[in-house]
Amino acid sequence: MSFTYEEKLSSSAYVDVVWRTEDQTDGTYVASADACWDMVFIKSKDGKSKVLLSGPSSNVTFVPYSTGNKNFGIRFKPGLIFTNILVAGMLNATKALPMPTDDTFVLQGITWNLPTYENIDEFLTRLVKNGLLRFDPVVRDVVENKAVKMSARSIQRHFAMTIGMSPRRVKQIMSARKAVELLLQGIPLAEVSYELGYADLPHMIRMLKRFTGYTPVENKLRGEQI
């Protein structure tokens, strides 16, 4: 393993997980496709900070890492909307946020002090208080498999505006991620394939390769959470 990883839950309803890593070597991390937004705070070994905002991704992305970097980040729940940021420009994109000083950054027109892994919830609370985070209730409920009284067409349009992808694509991505999670728990391939509704094993292999960058067996051998 070329970096250490830990994560914690957040008190914010908008957040899936807060995580932090420390890079042990130089390398490139293959990040799976993801329907969620992320924020990443990086501190390199020379003390320089960087803040990245990353939109949903419909394909595998390659994320470089360098020895000595200390990183933490927020993975938001699917259906989250940054009030003033259109998903259109952020699909498959990661942008470095402007930093007026070494320890401040600009997000949605407001200058923020750099948070830490420990006090990240305060930053999230302030985002919410300023009305800068909200949910698309349709997307949120649909991905949680809750009943939504709406046509497939309207649901598609909600997904297009919130995640920038079709519900079908989002479902494929979520299934692929879920498959890796189950494989890492030691559940046999055939069982995972059946459980998640893949037509057959080759179908699952294709989908995992496409959305996680690795085949099921490679994912098992790699042994890394995605």
Partner 1 sequence: MNIRPFKITVPQKELKDLQDRIKDTRWPGEIAGEGWKRGMPLDYTKKLADYWLTKFDWRKQEAKLNKFPQFVAEIDGQTIHFLHVRSSDPNAVPLLMCHGYPSSFVDFLHMIDPLVDPAASGSGAGRAFHVVVPSLPGFGFSTPVTGKGWEISRMAKAFDQIMRQLGYERYGVHGGDIGAGICEQLCIQAGERIIGSLVSTDPGAIATEYTPPTDHLNDDEKKRLQQMQAARREDFGYIQIQATRPQTIAYSLTDSPVGQMAWIVEKFKEWTDPARELPEDAVDIDLLLTNVSIYWFGRGGAGAAHFLYESMHAAAAWGQTHNRPQGFVTFGNEPLVRRILDPEHKLAYWNEHDRGGHFPAMEAPEQLVGDIRTFFQGLNSNT
* Contact predicate 32/176, CB 8 Å: yes
Contacts of 99 (CB under 8 A, 6+ apart): 49, 50, 51, 105, 106
Q: Does 150 bind partner 1 (CB under 8 A)?
A: yes
Residue closer to partner 1, measured from CB, 8 or 168: 168
CA distances to 17, 178, 180, 181, 226 from 185, in Å: 19, 11, 9, 7, 13
Q: Does 166 bind partner 1 (CB under 8 A)?
A: yes
Q: How far is the CB of 100 from partner 1 (least distance, A)?
A: 30
Q: Does 149 bind partner 1 (CB under 8 A)?
A: yes
Of positions 142, 176, 204, 226, contacts partner 1 by CB under 8 A: 142
Q: Within positions 74 to 93, which residues make up the interface with partner 1, using CB under 8 A?
A: none
3-state secondary structure at position 19: strand
Q: Does 131 bind partner 1 (CB under 8 A)?
A: no
DSSP characters for 56-117?
-BSS-EEEEE-TT-EEEEEEEPTTEEETT--GGGTTT-EEEPP-SSTTEEEETTEEEE---T
CA distances to 12, 16, 120, 153 from 129, in Å: 12, 19, 14, 33
Q: Does 137 bind partner 1 (CB under 8 A)?
A: yes
Residue closer to partner 1, measured from CB, 123 or 211: 211
Q: Does 172 bind partner 1 (CB under 8 A)?
A: yes
Residue closer to partner 1, measured from CB, 137 or 188: 137
Residues in binding contact with partner 1, number by CB under 8 A: 26
Q: How far is the CB of 94 from partner 1 (least distance, A)?
A: 24
| Residue ranges binding partner 1 (CB under 8 A) | 137-138, 141-143, 145-158, 161, 166-168, 170-172
